[in-house]
Amino acid sequence: MSKKNVAVIPGDGIGPEVIKATLEVLEQAAPGEFDFQEVAMGGNAIDKYGEPLPEFSLKTCQNSQATLLGAVGGAKWDNQPPENRPEKGLLKLRAGLKVFANIRPAKIFASLASACPLRKDIAEKGIDFIIIRELIGGIYFGKHETFKTSENERAARDVMEYSESEIRRIAHVAFKTAMSRRKIVTSVDKANVLTTSRLWREIVEDVSKEYPEVKLNHLYVDNASMQLIKIPSDFDVIVTENMFGDILSDEASQITGSIGMIPSASLGENNCGLYEPIHGSAPDIAGQDKANPIGTILAGAMMLRYSFNMNKEADKIENAVDKVLTDGFRTADIYTEGQGLKLISGSQMKNEIIKAVKHA
Ligand code: NAD
């Protein structure tokens, strides 16, 4: 049986720590199934090759069945010219893999309800929604420029543009996802101000006609940011454009606990997905064995599910994470004193999850 090819990008800061943990967990859940190939990207690639995503790195990812990414970036590379910053590598990777749909689950683990910063009565209603963010269009990919308006004055502009087909394909992902869940789609835009949003709303309405069982709501992004903390239990599938999705999904991550807990999958037409935690390289805790590896480990489980249809193995990993949390093990970011919890390091968390997978 040939092994499944997975490109692995450890990246910078805590990236290599959380990736190492995830590869060990994947090996425990599906022994001998994967051929992992390490790929240079981010600040480390700038140091070694002068650019954040060398062409050969992108090629390896494009030729793999899936790509697993830790995180990139750090203060050391903050003074790079904008086109050579680590984050540019990330945008180039997403565009190069043509992954247009970013899927971020926001689900509260019952054992972590106390880490939810919302009022108890709100958290207790349950939080389980998915944000589907358009990933390779909109303002992050439009023309960026700084220009002179007079001798002494500069101005800058970033162009937000969406085509009908870009909106249509992400809307289909949202409605299909909703069909396997509670059948509610909330489309988030700023149609009272933005022309792109008005087109967005029109196309989403049009696509919704193909999914008569799914209930469609529209919210302006400012209202959506309020409703997410007021009545999170009402949401099932949220679909939105790139920048709004970037902001709302970070808000959602805080509702469900720590940024270190949340995975994401980015999918294209052919399921050649990119899987990563939603956090960055966390330079403040890098190299101290404090990083919570759960977000990346759950991204590994999403990879099993979405790219390889290995649902049994994905379940094993997700159940193992649930068990370890229920048993009271916590990394510092999700630890609360005085509740009888056990504070452990990132590698100890990984070991506990491996033990739980073994006995699953
Ligand atoms: P960050 O997500 O790296 O860190 C924010 C805070 O969350 C920090 O206090 C950090 O210690 C904590 N945190 C993050 N992940 C954690 C984990 N797994 N366990 C425990 N605590 C965790 O965001 P930032 O500080 O804004 O950015 C740091 C660097 O990461 C920057 O260079 C930024 O550009 C980059 N970044 C990269 C990505 C990516 O690679 N996808 C995403 C966001 C930011």
Average pLDDT score, the chain: 94
Which residue has a Cα nearest atom 23 of ligand 1?
280
8 Å CB contact between 67 and 9: yes
Ligand 1 centroid distance, CA of 279 (Å): 5
| Catalytic residue (one of 35, 78, 222, 234) | 222
Residue 82 — pLDDT band, cuts 50, 70, 90?
Answer: confident
Tens-digit pLDDT profile for residues 178-224: 998 999 999 999 999 999 999 999 999 999 999 999 999 999 999 99
In the predicted model, is pLDDT for residue 22 greater than 80? yes
Q: Is the CB of 246 inside a 6 Å radius of any atom of ligand 1?
A: no
CA angle 339, 344, 347 (to 5 degrees): 155
pLDDT of residue 271: 62
Q: Specify whether 35 is catalytic.
A: no
Those residues whose C-beta lies under 8 Å from the C-beta of residue 159, and which sit 6 or more positions away, are 139, 142, 143, 144
Closest atom, ligand 1, to C-alpha of 71:
40
| Catalytic residue (one of 12, 92, 140, 323) | 140
Tens-digit pLDDT profile for residues 225-266: 999 999 999 999 999 999 999 999 989 988 887 789 989 999
8 Å CB contact between 289 and 345: yes
Q: Specify whether 284 is catalytic.
A: no
With pLDDT > 70 as the criterion, what percentage of the chain qualifies?
99
Nearest of 5, 7, 21, 1 to residue 317 by alpha carbon: 21
